[in-house]
Amino acid sequence: MTALDLSSPVAVVGTGTMGQGIAQVALVAGHPVRLYDAVPGRAEAAAEAIGARLDRLVAKDRLTAAERDAARDRLAPAAELAELADCALVVEAVLERLDVKQQLFRELEEVVADDCLLATNTSSLSVTAIGGALGNPGRFVGLHFFNPAPLLPLVEVVSGFATDVTSATRAYETARAWGKTPVACADTPGFIVNRIARPFYAEAFAVYEAQAADPATIDAVLRECGGFRMGAFELTDLIGQDVNESVTHSVWQSFFQDVRFTPSLAQRRLVESGRHGRKSGHGWYDYAEGAERPEPHTADKERPPAHVTVEGDLGPAAGLLPMLREAGIQVREDDEDNGTRLVLPSGGQLALADGQTSVEFRDVVYFDLALDYRKATRIALSASQDTSPQTLAEAIGLFQALGKDVSVIGDVPGMIVARTVARIVDLAHDAVAKGVATEEDIDTAMLLGVNYPLGPFEWSRRLGRGWAYDLLDDLHLRDPSGRYAPSLALYRHAYATDKRESTP
């Protein structure tokens, strides 16, 4: 099954920001495009807005004047649904209400030909449920573009329970012909991106709710240590707190209130207060003119330790050892495998976040997972009230000697980056095991849809087979609510190799 021929008309129903963006994508690809909106005058206004954007593309040398003129000639507003009768594809981008979408597609089915592909751009509703209103749901598919559609490359092609393979394939190939990067996905709450991205927000909010760190510090650690482009608080302010919370609530409800997707009470209070982020002028941060942006907590300068003793294998943090030597800190080796930690001159220990807490041990400081310890510009440390001040000072000085800013946070298991990455990896493995998408498509979706520095499976390979499982298992022991219980898929992944190697 191939992509739609460029001579085939494409219709977009709903002419808001997303509808206009999708129409522009199809138009620039070469299709005749019809715009329809139930509100009189909106389709005409949308056509004018798209024309203005085409002018800007010409000004930026991304489109020639001749191409713009040809595109304008192919664009036409429609006053009635009947004017979409000859379209080969109709994409809906209307209000996110199931009843509204179902009624629209019932009406469309009476208008278009039997071989017309019908698609929804829903981000939160069930594709299966919307298509269930049709007499022929086999031709119905989800085409989830990301905003702004002309710029962002990812399109989730979602197959509902009744979607025909030929329809999904045609939609996939059409999206690719339009210059997009499609990924195939089964109809699951949140699809790929909005399902697997939930821990990025949830764990940041959980650390905040535990009073372990403030939003500016958590965001800085996620960016400067974890390698994420934006922190969770600044990103949700950009998205809109009401929008982000609504998606989280929808996914949670759709999974029958699965504790892994529980919304944040702190975010709920923010939404209730009308602090929706940038668009309202205040969210987690104040965006009023002249408002000062809060600075992350950064520790004062401390003297670095003269030496450290390595016990065991530092695993994902092994890259610290050559950096310590380069900084002039003597690294001593302990032949006995007593764990995975660095012993400081004071006798205190420095360990990579593992899902346990500092208060459980004598004089232990935890440090967070980094995407790349050499490139990271900030490291988070956590300690309990019982941690020796000397041990904490030596730990701070050690990372400062490596050129890092240091943020000291509260004694929360899994810290910030480590628990976030572990949960993302877990949800990704769970999604593959349940047939939601392939490993490759999940990595592609998370890289392109939310700009993660690594796809979950690439992260999993870097960190080692059992790393995420072990950390979540320890977290689950300390919070037995089920939020951190590792999935069966992650358990199988963690132990598969060991089992094969031990088989006679």
List active site positions.
123, 144, 156, 194
Looking up tokens 């980094």 gives 370
According to DSSP, the residues that pair with 92 across neighbouring strands are: 13, 120
| DSSP H helices in 135-240 | 165-177, 193-196, 198-209, 215-224, 232-239
Backbone φ and ψ of 370, nearest 5°:
-120, 145
What is the C-alpha separation between 112 and 78, in angstroms, rounded?
14
- Segment (H or E) for 265: helix 265-272
Query: 22, 149 in Cβ contact below 8 A?
Result: yes
Distances (CA, A) of 71 to 26, 46, 67, 86: 10, 14, 6, 19
What is the C-alpha separation between 361 and 47, in angstroms, rounded?
65
CA angle 386, 392, 395 (to 5 degrees): 145
The 10 Å Cβ neighbour count of residue 330 is 11
According to DSSP, the residues that pair with 330 across neighbouring strands are: 307
Provide the residue type at 487 as one letter.
Answer: S
Query: 212, 186 in Cβ contact below 8 A?
Result: no
Distances (CA, A) of 155 to 89, 144, 187: 16, 5, 14
What is the C-alpha separation between 120 and 110, in angstroms, rounded?
17
Q: From 425, 437, 442, 435, select the one nearest 484 (Cα to Cα).
A: 425
